Structure 1
Amino acid sequence: MTLDHSDLSQKNDVTLTEAELAQIADPQLRQRVAALVERCDRLDDERQSMLQRLEELTLQIHLTQEMCRFKGGFLARISHELRSPLSGLIGTHQLILNDLCEDQDEERDFLSRAHEYSLKMVEMLDIVLKVARAEQGRSPLKVEPVRLYDVFEEVRELSAMQVANRNYHYEVQMPAGDLWVQADYKPLLQVLLHQIMAVVDRMSEGSLRLSSSVEGQNQVYIWLDSPCPLDLWNEPVEQLRSPPPEPKIPVSATDLPHLSAGLSWLVDYTLLDIMGGQLDILQPPPEDDSGWLSRLQYRLQQVPPPPETESE
């Protein structure tokens, strides 16, 4: 069923001035015509209100459809991410149950690796559950004024060592000390570190830059520029639809799975959306010899500092 509102868009062209109304000689007819004109004006106001309401409902339907597609992709990625640790558990248990271990030491080694896989799977589930609870309001985020300088400082302290170990150039441009945004401190720190480490894990060379800017109507933008291509965060649909992998035996702790860039982006996108922000993937800035191929953009609302801070 489609709703055709073309008739609603036709403007009321019934106009009658006081002078024209006074020219009607019959008093009863003049009164009836005045009542009809007044009724037409009311109907025109109702039509305008209906048109506005229809536009709002159309927008809500579009947003709901987009959110359903987003949720569907989110669930598909979660199921895909959990396949790896599950297959690792299955593989190690099959070796033990089929008596393929040479001795008890090897059996204990496989059990230890299976335990590592189970802990990793629980870690993944905890991340997803945290986002789901925050979105449903069961564990709401503490959204309040946050000084962006403090967030950047902690991000730099927690990530500089890991980036330096890979011999990558890492630049953090600190924001002004009086710049405050509306957010929850810990989740904001988490979404920044998530993407920085996702980029670092997939870089082979180049540089990384974290910066910020205030633009427009009190909008604060945080930018992460990197040499990673844009499709890093867009895993092929075929990969999500592929059959479960064959049971795999974990070789070491470094072989344990981690959240892919695609799922990590979806988790961070949801957390930022709950905080009233937005996460986008953009083309890099046109700068010579930068080597950047992508830019992650975090948008947050700028807010004034808390009263107790202003008084200090």
Structure 2
Amino acid sequence: MDDLQTIESLSADLATMTLAYEQAIHLGQLKSGFLARTSHELRAPLSSMMGLHQLILSDLCESPEEERDFIRQAHEAAQRLLKLLDEIIYVSKLDYGANQIEVHPLAIQTVFAGIERLTHLLATNRGYGLTIPDIDDELYIMADEKKFVQAIANIISAAIALMKEGELSLSLEPHAETVDLVLQIQSPHTIWEANPADAPLPPLATADTGYRLPTPLPSAAMTFHLSRTLIQHMAGSLTLEATPAAGDALTQIRFQIPTTEPEPELLD
């Protein structure tokens, strides 16, 4: 009997170690893919800046006005590169514990109001319908208000920048211990691949294609990864559930976050 118990114990330990090994391999592959995409995302604005500077240094500008326009574009590239670096560094520090997200009870009405504030004008300017309902439910979630709202707004902004046509809607699905925010995008254009991390890298700018920055920066795939990482650090999840297929022009993304009870002072 003792031998049988020992064998069963060893088998259980082996299964645990095998699972841990497979998870480590998977994590390593994700990190390698993220590193490759990050390097490319950073290289794209650098390529644009260098190309614009080369045109100026080679006296290829047709007028002082064009030279000033190239300088302006290079400056914008530098600003967007710095912003992207800040976002990547912040998320990377979350992964190894140097940064911490402070979660607290947050009213879901506040979340929807923040999302509308950050995205409504952009959708209106592009001529897309964006439906964000007024939420009366007295639901509270555990989240960092600024980071959670920004993560969702970044996904919506990326969609608006790339969808070309259609409309968007955000809805609420309460559950026992979680709440889901469901983003539906009615557009035939594919914004995210089935696995956003495996989406093809955008081409670098060249003298033949021009040195204007890709839109948006970061790319939709990088935006998805950064937003998903932020939400995961709040014990939530971000899932791409549907992408446009034959006869179906729907993209659906689900944001899930734990619910909680409000703090007593919030009820006063």
Alpha-carbon separation, structure 2, partners of 1:269 and 1:164: 26
Report the CA distance between 1:296 and its aligned residue.
0.4
Measured after TM superposition, the shift of residue 139 of structure 1 is 1.8
Tell me: CA distance 1:51–1:263, structure 2 relative to 1, closer, same or farther (3 Å): same
Measure the CA separation in 2 of the matches of 1:230 and 1:273. 27
Among 133, 137, 147, the alignment partner of 2:93 is: 133
1:276 paired to 2:231: no
Q: Give yes or no for contact 1:220–1:301 (8 Å, CA) kept in 2.
A: yes
Quick one: distance in 1 between partners of 2:171 and 2:141? Answer: 15
What is the rounded CA distance, in whole Å, between the counterparts of 2:169 and 2:160 in structure 1? 11
Question: In the alignment, is residue 307 of structure 1 matched against residue 257 of structure 2?
Answer: no
Pick the aligned partner of 2:221 from 262, 266, 277.
262
Equivalents in 2 of 1:309, 1:133: separation in Å? 31
CA contact (8 A) 2:154 2:223 kept: yes
Structure 1 gaps, min length 5: 1-11, 13-39
- Alignment of 1:191 with 2:151, yes or no, is yes
| SS of equivalent to 2:153 | helix
Deviation of the 1:155 alpha carbon: 0.7
TM-score by length of 2: 0.84
Q: Aligned partners of 2:257, 2:197: CA distance in 1, in Å?
A: 29
Larger radius of gyration: 1
Matched with 2:183 is: 224
Scaled by the length of structure 1, what TM-score is found? 0.73
| 1:115 maps onto 2:75 in alignment | yes
Q: Secondary structure at the match of 1:153?
A: helix
- Aligned residue identity for 1:272: I
1:257 shift after superposition: 5.2
The offset of 1:293, in angstroms, is: 1.1
Separation of aligned partners in 2, 1:280 and 1:96? 45
Query: Structure 1 residue 65: deviation in Å?
Result: 2.2
1:301 CA drift (Å): 1.3
Render the CA deviation track for 1:153-195: whole Å, top value 9, x for unaligned. Answer: 1111221222122332222234454211122111101111011
Task: Describe the shift of the 1:257–1:195 C-alpha distance in structure 2 as closer, same or farther (beyond 3 A).
Answer: closer
Mapped partners of 2:166, 2:68: distance in 1: 42
Report the 3-state secondary structure (helix = DSSP H, G, I; strand = E; otherwise coil) of the residue aligned with 2:257: strand
| Shift in alpha-carbon separation, 1:94–1:230, aligned structure 2, 3 A | closer
1:297 to 235, 254, 260: 254
- 1:73-88 pair list within 5 angstroms: 73-88=33-48
Task: Tell me how far apart the structure 1 counterparts of residues 113 and 218 of structure 2 sit (CA, whole Å).
Answer: 25
- State the shift of 1:77 in Å: 1.6
SS across alignment from 1:140: coil
Deviation at 1:283, TM superposition (A): 2.8
Structure 2: any 5+ residue segments left out of the alignment?
none
Task: Report the alpha carbon displacement of residue 292 of structure 1 after superposing the two structures with TM.
Answer: 5.0
1:233 aligns with 2:196: no
Aligned equivalents of 2:157, 2:238: Cα separation in 1: 16
Cα contact 2:168–2:185 (8 A) shared by 1? yes
CA distance 1:52–1:74, change in 2 (3 Å) = same
Per-residue deviation at 1:94?
A: 1.2
* Cα distance, 1:168–1:96 mapped onto 2, change above 3 Å: closer
In structure 2, what is the Cα distance between the partners aligned to 1:108 and 1:297? 44
Task: Work out which of the residue numbers 208, 214, 218 in structure 1 matches 2:168.
Answer: 208
Question: For 1:51-66, what aligned pairs fall within 5 Å after superposition?
Answer: 51-66=11-26
User: Percent identity among equivalent residues?
Assistant: 30
Query: Contact 1:83–1:245 at 8 Å: present in 2 too?
Result: no
* Equivalent AA in structure 2 for residue 309 of structure 1: L
How much does 1:108 deviate?
A: 3.6
What secondary structure does 1:79 align onto?
helix
Number of matched pairs: 262
Aligned-residue Cα RMSD (Å) equals 2.9
- The aligned amino acid for 1:280 is T
